[in-house]
Structure 1
């Protein structure tokens, strides 16, 4: 599960458009500007709201990211059917005891530099990178199994066959393991074997964004051809990607993909409407009606599906630890944040219906769980899941029970007379989230709470969550899947993305006095139990209990999700928009009409 930051009008005033083009480069205004002086090739121009943090697949912890175009795994998921299909592996077999999976690779697989891709690469990727305790990757957290948190083992049978063994049956193993990208041993083995001055493997500083992109070897549909910070990323087709169509033609058909770095969703909309982008996904609910009306004139199609496969939420920093003798969170505020009644009062105090009406134009969905509604393990409110519908009378009652009261100036104060005030951060440029935090500030002011909102760069925000823990409250979205164990790296107390009460990251100064609450530990225990249970009915009960605990103690305060929406130029042929969203899920089949 990764933090989500959305990717990327024909404006009415010629002056506005001219001013816009003066601010941006000519190529940002005209997609043809990305073409080289050589022969034109089929290309598609997309957008991203911020620069990538890394080109190293194992160390990436945000979405969208470059890895989706560059790396593929042993299996893939069909977005229309939700079924697993072969990717690098042409087939797989599960042992009778459900503890072994054997993958057979396709014949003739190659890396983007032409080197053969074999079972050695698969074993290296898992044994030396994903399962290596010296490599701080979130991937490791979703592969840990059972109460002992053991990791699977992997061995080579021959050049085309690899066997994975788990210490006990692990229900999500095939879907989780098979979808992880495979990395090149012949390029990266040395970076694992050698260490830097800090004692860490050189791999941790390999393939940063300062790397010459042409030196990065991939096995997916594309490689990076060019990266210009704050401007664009250009991908070119990998000539050795394994897919070919029925006539033997190399796929994907689109030769080049350009990601334009557009740090504001309003600018992103402007670029699409003016013809500067070929696709914009996801689009905001407020933009959908406008774009839908312009489909014919603009020669594009607006798509809408179900609820986005993310959870948009607000969270408080529950970390009670100290670093270098100093508390991570102001002890006064930490006492508030760690009081469940305070968090419940906040949840009741936010008018999510108004948020949906005003910000999502009624196209949003109020959410009550960290598990997606499309998952078979989702617990509905009518099945016992607690929901926090707007009710500030309940908020005031809960705050009173927790020892808070209003002073003569209408400020909410705690039992010691401290005025309740905290800073709420989100990622700058995402106008929907900026509007959400602005409404939260307004809603909570009615309770006498002062919220200081602070939109910041997405990369800086993630660094605060992952490394410094220097934050009080944040609003973000976390991507997910129908398999709940994809969120194990968030909900297990010692996992690397357990941001609401983060443990010390490897290589960072230690935390003293960090406290894991009983409910927090119980959620972690149930995640382990849910992954090892093979009976689907029992799994549903386990994940139902997780959701009940989460909604009672609210480490996340679920808010509103948009529906999946996208706009794509009609020149992009072959789009099959699924209910779960993702206009480019079948990218290898898409063509650009000249």
Structure 2
């Protein structure tokens, strides 16, 4: 998974949670709705399951995790105040049992479950919540993206198990990210002099279904069942987190992971487009069934309502090569989207036109019209480059006078190693740009080093992907202030009109009105091309070993296999 992040945190139930929160004029008290989990039959406990982890996690801490691997680890170890039912999107109790929202939506009072405990058997209390919040809001903490959601919020302890978030300006998603708040243990970090580099960052003390037993860097992470997990008998957890042991085998190479899956060394894997097209339904077709009853291995392809990731080329707008709109638009017109979708994604993806889900109500539908969607158009690109001041001196590489200096149009295009799709995209881009007199140098870097370069802004351009959200908050990525402190606006995008629209959209509680604001934002961003939007995922592609049983393989709003429900029948 790309730089997928929990700041685009949980999802709302449009009919049950979101609308009632948006339109309510009176005090709101939490009401638990029926959940699919309540109806699940009891699952057998025990056994060991192996999953792939593409890279070593950067951290093991819910405040600092900003990559998919760290988030994957986090999911086994920590609980949030509330979780979401991935079928109807209603809130389910986690560490908290209830919340109350004041009439003016400025006071959110939560009550912790008094049974909630850390893995060392000490209770989870309001002190842990406040300590976590204070640590998050400390500007020295490397959590700028997550912190952006909590600006203008303070916390008040009421008693040992009750606390309140005080909100200066309520937003449409305030309840969402407050309910998703994930605390760390005060006891573990209260004497830390350097939280970001504390040894506890890689030695987690959690409060969820598993504890970390072993971490062998570049090899594996072993989780063992938390035998004293306080929530094991809650109805939403009774048939989940069933294996006694879960092993995350760290395998950066997707082809090696695929081979290990065929051999039975890994029990579940997410296929990329190339593997699906050329192997699963290609040369290895006879090895796969369409259900667990047909073969030892089976493959799943489906579409659901989950927000889909989108890939893009990000231009560093602080680099004078890319600070001109005409130049960026020209570059986008030099990308062969059709070739990428056909040869890299095998028509399992669709061209993207929005950071908010191209086919959702948050995105402008007119951008997909033939006269507005950006396509490969070399003539238009060359004309725009000329208008932007790029000249041809016969050397084969365009140049421009920048700050009084003759500057060739040459740059480095970064991506993470072992991502074959992005490497193929980079090669297609390089070849196409060369025909226009632009020299592209491709560089692939190990994942964590790649992320470090992004955070330190040490790149010219890069290929990456973000996940989507049903109810996106554009502040994290597109607000001018989100560039600060290694925030997610790593390209340095700044547009006062977009900043204004973000503020309006985030304080608009009417869905239809907010959608219109998001669409206007989409049009501005697409016109300025700070990203070259490439493609969106259409399908969930999963491989599973038939030894795994489950009451449900994928829920309507899950982005992959429901591994929390897996169990071993034998």
TM norm structure 1 = 0.80
Give distance in 1, aligned partners of 2:534 and 2:451. 20
SS at match of 2:132: helix
SS at match of 2:300: strand
**Does structure 2 retain, via aligned residues, the 8 Å contact 1:45–1:258?**
yes
Deviation at 1:248, TM superposition (A): 9.7
Deviation at 1:251, TM superposition (A): 5.0
* 1:471-529: CA deviation from partner (whole Å, max 9, x where unpaired): 111101122322222x4222222323244445xxxxxxxxxxxxx75x2x332332222
After superposition, residues 497-508 of structure 1 pair within 5 angstroms as 497-502=487-492
The answer to whether the aligner puts 1:142 opposite 2:148 as a matched pair is yes
The answer to whether the aligner puts 1:492 opposite 2:479 as a matched pair is yes
Give distance in 1, aligned partners of 2:362 and 2:388. 33
Give distance in 2, aligned partners of 1:567 and 1:85. 29
After superposition, residues 160-239 of structure 1 pair within 5 angstroms as 160-191=161-192, 195=193, 202-207=194-199, 211=202, 213=203, 216-239=204-227
* Farther off after superposition, 572-581 or 387-396: 572-581
SS at match of 1:257: strand
**Does structure 1 retain, via aligned residues, the 8 Å contact 2:296–2:547?**
no
Q: Which residue of 2 aligns with 1:479?
A: 467
Deviation at 1:337, TM superposition (A): 0.7
SS at match of 1:398: helix
SS at match of 1:337: coil
The answer to whether the aligner puts 1:129 opposite 2:135 as a matched pair is yes
Q: Which residue of 1 aligns with 2:458?
A: 470
Q: Quick one: structure 1 residues 129 and 584, their matched pair in 2 at CA, closer, same or farther if it must change by over 3 Å?
A: farther
Q: Which residue of 2 aligns with 1:35?
A: none
Deviation at 1:368, TM superposition (A): 0.8
Flag structure 2 segments of 5+ consecutive residues without an equivalent. Answer: 6-44
**Does structure 1 retain, via aligned residues, the 8 Å contact 2:221–2:248?**
yes
Give distance in 2, aligned partners of 1:250 and 1:78. 14
Give distance in 2, aligned partners of 1:570 and 1:96. 51
The answer to whether the aligner puts 1:389 opposite 2:364 as a matched pair is no
Deviation at 1:49, TM superposition (A): 1.7
The answer to whether the aligner puts 1:424 opposite 2:413 as a matched pair is yes
**Does structure 2 retain, via aligned residues, the 8 Å contact 1:130–1:139?**
no
Aligned match for 1:402, one of 369, 388, 406: 388
Deviation at 1:417, TM superposition (A): 5.5
**Does structure 2 retain, via aligned residues, the 8 Å contact 1:316–1:500?**
no
Give distance in 1, aligned partners of 2:363 and 2:94. 29
Give distance in 2, aligned partners of 1:248 and 1:58. 24
Q: Quick one: structure 1 residues 277 and 383, their matched pair in 2 at CA, closer, same or farther if it must change by over 3 Å?
A: closer
Q: Quick one: structure 1 residues 85 and 383, their matched pair in 2 at CA, closer, same or farther if it must change by over 3 Å?
A: farther
SS at match of 1:476: strand
Q: Which residue of 1 aligns with 2:509?
A: 534
* 1:406-439: CA deviation from partner (whole Å, max 9, x where unpaired): 3334433335764311110000001111111111
* 1:228-253: CA deviation from partner (whole Å, max 9, x where unpaired): 11111111122315132659968521
Aligned match for 2:107, one of 87, 100, 112: 100
**Does structure 2 retain, via aligned residues, the 8 Å contact 1:315–1:474?**
yes
Q: Quick one: structure 1 residues 303 and 250, their matched pair in 2 at CA, closer, same or farther if it must change by over 3 Å?
A: closer
**Does structure 2 retain, via aligned residues, the 8 Å contact 1:411–1:448?**
yes
Deviation at 1:339, TM superposition (A): 0.8
Q: Quick one: structure 1 residues 399 and 583, their matched pair in 2 at CA, closer, same or farther if it must change by over 3 Å?
A: closer
SS at match of 1:533: coil
Q: Quick one: structure 1 residues 247 and 120, their matched pair in 2 at CA, closer, same or farther if it must change by over 3 Å?
A: closer
**Does structure 2 retain, via aligned residues, the 8 Å contact 1:368–1:551?**
yes
**Does structure 1 retain, via aligned residues, the 8 Å contact 2:144–2:487?**
yes
Give distance in 2, aligned partners of 1:582 and 1:2. 13
Q: Which residue of 2 aligns with 1:252?
A: 241
Deviation at 1:375, TM superposition (A): 4.8
Give the length in aligned residue pairs.
508
The answer to whether the aligner puts 1:48 opposite 2:53 as a matched pair is yes
* 1:85-122: CA deviation from partner (whole Å, max 9, x where unpaired): 32222222221111122222223111111111122222
* 1:534-561: CA deviation from partner (whole Å, max 9, x where unpaired): 2222211221121111111111111012
Q: Which residue of 2 aligns with 1:119?
A: 126
Aligned match for 2:339, one of 354, 357, 360: 354
Q: Quick one: structure 1 residues 359 and 546, their matched pair in 2 at CA, closer, same or farther if it must change by over 3 Å?
A: same
Q: Which residue of 2 aligns with 1:84?
A: 91
SS at match of 1:234: strand
Q: Quick one: structure 1 residues 241 and 430, their matched pair in 2 at CA, closer, same or farther if it must change by over 3 Å?
A: farther
Give distance in 2, aligned partners of 1:454 and 1:223. 37
Flag structure 1 segments of 5+ consecutive residues without an equivalent. Answer: 6-39, 145-149, 196-201, 320-333, 503-515
Q: Quick one: structure 1 residues 480 and 549, their matched pair in 2 at CA, closer, same or farther if it must change by over 3 Å?
A: same
Give distance in 2, aligned partners of 1:288 and 1:308. 21
The answer to whether the aligner puts 1:555 opposite 2:530 as a matched pair is yes
* 1:388-422: CA deviation from partner (whole Å, max 9, x where unpaired): 12222211121121122333344333357643111
Deviation at 1:58, TM superposition (A): 1.2
The answer to whether the aligner puts 1:61 opposite 2:80 as a matched pair is no
Q: Which residue of 2 aligns with 1:505?
A: none
TM norm structure 2 = 0.83
